[in-house]
Structures are given as structure tokens and as C-alpha cells.
Amino acid sequence: MTPRRWLVGGFDRSVVAAMRHLPTPAGQALAGAIARHVAPKLYPRLDAMARAAVPRLRPDLAPDATVAALWDATTRTACEVPCYIRLHDEGRVTTRGEATLLALHRDRRPVIVAGLHLGNWEILGLAAHRLGIPVAVVHDPPPAAEFRGQLLVRERLRAGARLLPLGREATWPALRAVREGREALYMLVDEVTEGRVMAPRLGRAEPLGGNLVQAVKLARLAGAAILPGYALRLPGPAGDPRFEACFLPPIEVPRTADRAADVAAGAAALDAAIAPAVLRHLEQWFPLLYWR
């Protein structure tokens, strides 16, 4: 381990311990200071990529202000991993559009929640669970020595989620979870893979792939409804964080004899549903740091 990585790792552990034990206002003050003074300096390449992306995606926005807000939002989200359950328990989360999710669950209809890396995306899955809906989360299992990844695994389990490993070996467990209708399957569909933001397309010519297409394929096999969703960080005092978990109208994937056409149509519909939310809240969208 290089001296730089050793220092960053020690700093990360100290921040996690502080966020776990500090009252929410004090923890938010710490997270805000890290966002202003530490995060952009640690990741100058990502900072530059985000600044270059803003004019392409939202030419009406000021790049400096947008990227500063982005660092603030994403750093707070990273710092909130050890305490996001407490944020919900403190009454800081409201929900919108949950009636459809509840009705689908009541009818034992298979459901896939297609989440976005907007605001605090861990809160979206937690909000569904607190509505009384068991949640299975598709995730990329971290190495045993990866502190931050293992922390997230522990907190997701503590929040009541069942974890399914990403990849081919997860397909059948995920399909069973969806088909049974007893739990909602939560997938983040705008992931970054090998430096590429997989979705939404936002004007790019390349075909859709990754978790978005996988979610559509699973929905078609299981006859599941896809509910896009995200958990926004609401405006207000920095020391008093508030969130809104938003569930959008369901998407139905066609189920005809033409599998490829069905998947393409479902993927296009899901892409069209999530793109406006990303553009509207670009300053809270984590993958903006990797956009190209």
C-alpha cells in the first residue's frame, strides 16, 4: 500500500467513526467541509470531467456552481453510509409515488425498482423496506479487505436488505426473487463500469447495456413492472438534511414472440423515463463525475 492510500484509508476510517457517533448536524458539518476542501483535490481528473460534461448536458447551468454542488451532494452521501438508517429514523425522509409500489406488492405483482445514483441512493431501498416491502439488492460484492465496500454491505444488511451478487450467477436468484412477488428487486441502472456511465444515453449513440438492460430482461422473464426511482436531497439548511424518495410510474416490458424487440423497447422506455430526472437534478447525479 502506498503512503497516499494508507493516509486516505486512515482518514476514511476516522470519518466513518465520526459520522456514526456525531449528532446529525455535526456530522453534516464535517461532510460539508470534506466536500469543499478535500474531495475535489483528491480526484482532480473526475472534477475536470464533470466540469467538461455540464455544458454538453445542461448548457444553461454554470459549470463551477454545478460541480461544487455535485461534490457537496456526493460527498455527503458517501459520508452518510454509516448513518443513513438513522437519518430515516429521525424522520428526514418523505416518499412520493409510493401508492403504485404498495398496490403492486399487495397484489403480489413482481416489481423491479430501477434506482438512480441521485441524492442518496441507499435511502431509496430503505424507504421501500420501511413501507413494509422486503427488498433484495443486486450488488457487486467487494473484496474482503475493501473497507468502504464492506461497510456498505454491513449497512445494507442492517437496513433489512437481502443481497444478491452482480453477474451471471445472480440471474436465477434475482429472477426467483422477482417472480415470487414477496420482495422488490432493487437495481441501480445508471452504474459506472470501467469508467463508462452505462445509462441513461442522454444523446450518446452507443447502445444501452449494463444493469438497465439486465433489469428489462428480468422484467420480461418474470412479467414484472419496473418502477424507476431516486431519493433526492432536498433544499434546506446543511445541518438538517431532508430527502424525498420518489417512485415514478411503472414501465411494462412487452412480452411478444420477438424477444430482442421486446428488450429494445423496454430499454428505450426505461431510458426515456430516467433521463429527465437526471438532467433536472444534474448537480446530485454521481455519474456526472465519469461522464464522457
**Domain chopping of the chain, boundaries:** 3-290
Residue 177 CB burial class (10 angstroms; 0-12, 13-18, ≥19): buried
* Chain CA centroid to CA 116, Å: 4
Which pLDDT band holds residue 93 (cuts at 50, 70, 90)? very high
Asked if the model's pLDDT at residue 170 lies above 80, the reply is no
Query: Which of 12-16, 117-121, 162-166, 252-256 bottoms out in mean pLDDT, i.e. has the lowest?
Result: 162-166
**Phi-psi sector, 147: left (phi>0), alpha (psi -120 to 50), beta:** alpha
Which pLDDT band holds residue 232 (cuts at 50, 70, 90)? very high
Asked if the model's pLDDT at residue 4 lies above 70, the reply is no
Residue 11's pLDDT is what?
Answer: 87
Residue 161 and residue 136 in contact, taking contact as beta carbons nearer than 8 Å: yes
pTM of the model: 0.95
pLDDT mean over 261-280? 99
CATH code assigned to 3-290: 3.40.1130
Closest CA to 35 of 74, 80, 63, 72: 72
C-alpha cell at 20: 456514526
pLDDT mean over 223-251? 98
